[in-house]
Amino acid sequence: MSDHHAGEPLVSIKSVSRRFGDVQALEQVSLEIRQGEFFALLGPSGCGKTTLLRILAGFEHPDSGSVTLDGNDLLAVPPHRRPVNLMFQSYALFPHMSVEKNIAYGLERDRVPKREIRERVDAVLATVGLTGLARRRPHQLSGGQRQRVALARAIVKRPRLLLLDEPLSALDKKVRAEMQLELKRLQHEVGITFVVVTHDQEEAMSLADRIAVMSEGRVRQVDAPVPLYERPADLFVADFIGANNLVTGVVTTEGLRVPDVGLLPCPAAPDAVGATATLAVRPERVRLGADGVLVGVVRDVTFFGGTTRVAVDVTGLDRPLLATVAGAAAVGVGDKTRVDWSGSDAVLLDRT
Amino acid sequence: MRRFSWLYVPAGLTYLFLYLPIVVLVVMSFNAADTPYRWDGFDTAWYGRLFADRAIREGLINTLVVAAGATALSTVLGTLLAVGLARHTRSKLLDAIAVAPAVLPDIVLAIGLLAFYTAVQFTLGLHSILLAHTVFGTAFVAAVVRTRLAHVDGSLEEASRDLGATAAHTFVRITLPSLAPGIIAGALLAFSLSIDEFVIAFFTAGPQDPTLPIVIYSMVRFGVTPEINALATLLLAVSFTFVIAAQRLSRLTESL
């Protein structure tokens, strides 16, 4: 094993900003990526995640801030000398070279002996499950196979850091699920730190150990998938990750007071009493039919097989409350129902 | 069998209109008689006479020298120009100016070049024609390579850099091979345009070394001889070969 230990910071990004004309692509971004982890940069398009990835690869330079890898300044190193490899969204396979030539390209640049190149190419082809396709040209491969070649080409150099730009976006749904598992297995097997850029929150949640949620050039929250889902730090994260019921009101000692609606259950927040805040509660935490505090009319029932989503119109709220129940719903459209949740299942956000 | 459609009639007439003069030319080049008013039977004698003619032979050599030199220069310049335009500028104007010599009327280019050569007191000769042909050749190569570049994924070069290649190595190993079909098609085009170019060559030639089209022009002033027909037929064969080869290559380009 190497002298690097899992959990130690590998990459340290400090106050990085980048501006393109009128657009602030990155604004004072600071992040730490740990040795050996699977890290995701998640956000809607235009949030700056790709710019950050390109800064790590060396194709873009920040206006200010610093980036270190293993404690050394990364920004001073040109892209071809960085121990960092990038898997491009388009895969960027060289069309005039065979699969094995594509994979060997980076090793040849490092002047690795011919014999060792052959061994390492064979080994990586076996790792990604492409043994036997070494002599094919990229245009003779399927989308999933091309992606495996791109992955093999990026990991064969054993980089300290592997960057993946929207790795699954070009694949159809079935292959995507397969590759998702494959990526996780591979990351485990090769022990390289992965940073994946994606706009797909489910992809990020299922792949990554930790996720940085970005919006408008800023990092909103960095957390593991479960805390990110259960304890979003702000309104953007609460709304972007999964479905959420959001209600704004004034915090009191008994709950959240919402005009025309009443008192809603919310976690105790003695220091926030009197402040305006937004309450976020996940649909699967919302209970129907019990002796709930709210009364509403069922507007819509959607059956997904394992679960059912029920939308309930509550007088005074501009959006219907969503509730997810296991199995089929006991209520139908037009039924009156009571709604509530336990205060500890909700989160108070953006207190002012 | 497919049903006959009346729409084939205008199509056929159009092709006839386009190619009848050329067919007449080719047929007449094999005419034993020395006038187009009579058919004395099939004969290849005019081709023999053609190769014996010193003026034509020298004209042909001059033309090949000019075409080869102009093609070499314009292929290098045009390729670099296209890559530079695509990678380092977003100016539509620069783009348009780069390919303008390809669409400018020949006579404009010819007069302009002659005026320029006179102004800088450049002696006229094969070299002045060669440079003149390089002007429009570069524009054609740049235009063809530019089209090819639009089809090439820009991240290929970044991938090469990412895998440890220097900028120079990337240009040789990745950029040039992916542009090769376009570069070759551009070169073939520049060559075939140069060998039969008359107007610009006529203006920029010195008194000593006429190119083949100029030789032909001075010969036909005294009437078209069957010898000229034979020569034109040969030129036709060469041009066709080059144009078809260029087209094949650019089609190959798209499939990559």
Angle subtended by helix axes B45-52 and B226-255, to nearest 10? 90
Contacts 24+ apart (CB under 8 A), A50-56: A50/A165, A50/A197, A51/A18, A51/A25, A51/A26, A52/A13, A52/A16, A52/A26, A52/A197, A52/A214, A53/A86, A53/A163, A53/A165, A53/A195, A53/A197, A55/A16, A55/A18, A55/A26, A56/A11, A56/A84, A56/A161, A56/A163, A56/A195
Say what the pLDDT of residue B174 is. Answer: 93
Cβ distance B164 to A153 less than 8 Å, yes or no, reads no
Q: Is the pLDDT of residue A238 over 50?
A: yes
Q: Which CATH architecture has domain A9-235?
A: 3-Layer(aba) Sandwich (3.40)
CB atoms within 10 A of CB A300: 12
Say what the pLDDT of residue A195 is. Answer: 96
Classify each residue of A275-295 as buried b or exposed e, where b means 16 or more C-beta atoms within 10 Å of its C-beta.
eebbbbbbbbbbbbeeebebe
Q: How far is A346 from chain B (nearest CA, A)?
A: 45
What is the rounded average pLDDT of the residues B50-58?
87
| Type of residue numbered A27 | E
Cβ distance B256 to A57 less than 8 Å, yes or no, reads no
Pairwise pLDDT comparison (A206 vs B1), residue with the higher score: A206
Instruction: Give the C-alpha separation, B250 to A53, whole Å.
Output: 36
Cβ distance B164 to A109 less than 8 Å, yes or no, reads yes
Structure token digits, residue A111: 């002047």
DSSP-derived letter for residue B42 is B
CA atoms within 13 A on the CB side of A249: 24
pLDDT tens digits, residue range B146-169? Answer: 988 888 888 999 999 999 999 999
What is the rounded average pLDDT of the residues A49-65?
95
Contacts of A155 in chain B (CB under 8 A): none
Q: Which residue of A has its CA nearest to B166?
A: A80
| CATH assignment, A243-349 | 2.40.50.140
Q: Which residue has the tokens 């290559």?
A: B249
Contacts of B162 in chain A (CB under 8 A): 57-58, 79-80, 84-86
Distances (CA, A) of A221 to A48, A268, B45: 14, 23, 89
Say what the pLDDT of residue A2 is. Answer: 43
| Every domain of chain A and the residues it spans | 9-235, 243-349
Q: Is the pLDDT of residue A217 over 90?
A: yes
Contacts of A106 in chain B (CB under 8 A): 163-164
Write the CB contacts of B144 (distance below 8 Å, at least 6 apart in sequence): B78, B182, B185, B186, B189, B250
Cβ distance A59 to B158 less than 8 Å, yes or no, reads yes
Structure token digits, residue A73: 């300044």
Q: Is the pLDDT of residue B38 over 50?
A: yes
Instruction: Give the C-alpha separation, A268 to B98, whole Å.
Output: 71
Q: How far is A51 from chain B (nearest CA, A)?
A: 14
Say what the pLDDT of residue A331 is. Answer: 86
Confidence label for B254 from pLDDT (cuts 50, 70 and 90): low
Q: Which residue of B has its CA nearest to A86?
A: B162
Q: Which of A2-16, A296-310, B225-239 has the lowest mean pLDDT?
A: A2-16
Asked if A180 and A207 touch (Cβ cutoff 8 Å), the reply is: yes
Cβ distance A79 to B158 less than 8 Å, yes or no, reads yes
Write the CB contacts of A142 (distance below 8 Å, at least 6 apart in sequence): none
Cβ distance A157 to B153 less than 8 Å, yes or no, reads no
Structure token digits, residue A14: 């400090």
Pairwise pLDDT comparison (A179 vs A125), residue with the higher score: A125
Q: Which of A108-112, A197-201, B128-132, B247-251 has the lowest mean pLDDT?
A: B247-251
Domains annotated on chain B, with CATH: 53-255 (1.10.3720.10)
Q: How far is CA B218 from the centre of its chain?
A: 22
pLDDT tens digits, residue range A313-323? Answer: 988 888 899 99
The residues with which A17 forms a beta bridge, in sequence order, are A64
Q: Is the pLDDT of residue A5 over 70?
A: no
Confidence label for A159 from pLDDT (cuts 50, 70 and 90): very high
Q: Which residue of B has its CA nearest to A140?
A: B256
| Complex-level ipTM | 0.82
Strand pairing report for A38-42 and A210-215: parallel
E strands, A52-174, in order: 64-69, 72-73, 84-87, 161-165
DSSP-derived letter for residue B116 is H
Identical fold, A9-235 and A243-349: no
Say what the pLDDT of residue B224 is. Answer: 74
Q: Is the pLDDT of residue A116 over 70?
A: yes
Q: Tell me which of B87, B157, B160, B163 to substitute to probe the interface with A (most A C-beta atoms closer than 10 Å).
A: B163
Q: Is the pLDDT of residue B256 over 80?
A: no
Pick from A148, A171, A242: nearest CA to A204: A242
